[in-house]
Amino acid sequence: MSRAATMTMALFFQLITSLLLITTTASSPPLGGVTFDVIHRRSNSSSSRHFNTNELDGGSPYANTVFATSEYLMKLQIGTPPVEIEALIDTGSDLVWTQCLPCVHCFDQLGPIFDPSKSSTYKEKRCREQPCPYAIHYVDRSYSEGTYATETVTLLSTSGQPFVMNETTIGCAHNSSDVTTPSASGIVGLDWGSSSLISQMGENFLGLFSYCFSGEGTSKINFGGNAIVAGDGTVATNMFRKTDKPEFYYLNLDAISVGENRVETLGTSFHSLEGNIVIDSGTTYTYLPDTYCNLVKDAVDNAVVNVERAPFSGERLCYKTDNIEVFPVMTMHFSGGADLKMATYNMFVNNGGEYCLAIICNDPTQQAIFGNRAQNNWLVGYDTSSQLVSFKSTNCSSLWS
């Protein structure tokens, strides 16, 4: 989540049912005044790399994850003594923030709201002798407002000892509307920004992290050496950075196959050789510019036979059926030969007596997004040093059972 007072992003299409996030770049907190950002919701402070107490013990940090309707949360602890929270995993933002007492206005969350007065390691950041504020405003008019602070963040570790991150920059939210599922207390930003959790872990972890999302059961998000995705069936594609949006992880989508019909981006305005779609764990659906998206929709519609289109579905492609097996196999082709053969669950969603394509068409000026539903049951590894994203087809719900 960007905290830059001078930088904003263009607003784009808001699908209320998605409840998702995609945000702007990170920077240092301002020396005074309220930081205001317009952030795209789809359902920075500078970070010094502080020594982690077990950074050199040979262990790799990790966290347990849970699925909540359409979002994926990770469990972590903040404060001293540590308090466990669940927060949305968001590769499209940079700040780690949670709701804090006292609340001017807080959304309902299932667990207790963090009370910084009971933590011996909480330290509010100061700007000209005043608390450093932040304010995040979303397209759907939800928001989070609070103050920057440093606090101890604790994860699990393969060493068996807690992985402790001292003086981690966080946002302490005192005024928030519903920005995520009630199971969560906030957001864990994981993008390229300097205040993201992965950026604050330290250079020994080389910007490596991986996750494996499942719509059932629990899974894990790994950091460091244990996050490397390799072995039979692993494919990799290049990661790109844009000078105007350097915080996002861009991939290059070359084509989407619907059955045997390969729909190329070549020949459309969506075609690129240097990244045309953001991979975002905090957004549910996949969003494509309508100049290309409509070609994909037409290919799907031509492949679905003897099934009636659902009325009143607007721009969505929906069918009156409760049988997901009637839909074609779809493959997403990323640069470098990374071909992801999708399960029908990845590409179609049950909408109460009908199934809809889990791809949303955007205006061409808006950001294309590779959302978390399409990533379901893929072990996804980020290597920011080598600028690669790796994928391995995996039954994520049984991976750590």
Region for 296 from its dihedrals, namely left if φ exceeds 0, alpha if ψ lies in -120 to 50, beta otherwise: alpha
Per-residue tokens: 50 = 């502080």
Neighbours of 199 (CB within 10 A): 23
pLDDT of amino acid 13: 31
> pLDDT, tens digit, for every residue of 257-297?
999 999 999 999 999 999 999 999 999 999 999 999 999 99
As beta bridge partners, residue 143 has 137
What is the pTM for the complete model shown? 0.86
pLDDT of amino acid 38: 39
Q: Which residues of the chain have pLDDT under 50?
A: 1-41, 43-56, 139
> pLDDT, tens digit, for every residue of 366-389?
999 999 999 999 999 999 999 999
Cis-peptide, bond into residue 30, ω within 30° of zero: no
Residue-by-residue DSSP string for 96-134: EEEEBSSPSB----SSPPB-GGG-TT-EE-EETTEE-EE
How far is residue 263's CA from residue 330's CA, in Å, rounded to a whole number? 11
Which structural domains are found in the chain, ordered by start? 21-227 (2.40.70.10), 235-394 (2.40.70.10)
Q: Are 121 and 151 in contact (CB under 8 A)?
A: yes
How long is the chain?
401
How far is residue 48's CA from residue 37's CA, in Å, rounded to a whole number? 23
How far is residue 282's CA from residue 284's CA, in Å, rounded to a whole number? 7
What backbone phi and psi angles, to 5 degrees, belong to 239?
-105, 135
Q: Tell me how far the alpha carbon of residue 351 is from its chain's centroid.
A: 23
How far is residue 194's CA from residue 374's CA, in Å, rounded to a whole number? 27
- CA distance from start to end of the chain: 33
Closest CA to 25 of 13, 41, 42, 39: 39
Residue 309 DSSP label = B
How far is residue 19's CA from residue 73's CA, in Å, rounded to a whole number? 14
Helices (H), 185-257: none
Cα torsion angle, 249, 254, 259, 263, sign: positive
Using DSSP bridges, classify how beta strands 318-319 and 330-334 pair: parallel, antiparallel or unpaired.
Answer: unpaired
* CA distance readout (Å), 310 to 301, 307, 324, 362, 388: 12, 9, 14, 21, 40
User: What single-letter amino acid sits at 74?
Assistant: M
Per-residue tokens: 272 = 């690129």
Residue pointed to by tokens 């179609």: 348
Closest CA to 275 of 239, 237, 247: 239
Point out the residues that are catalytic.
Answer: 90, 280
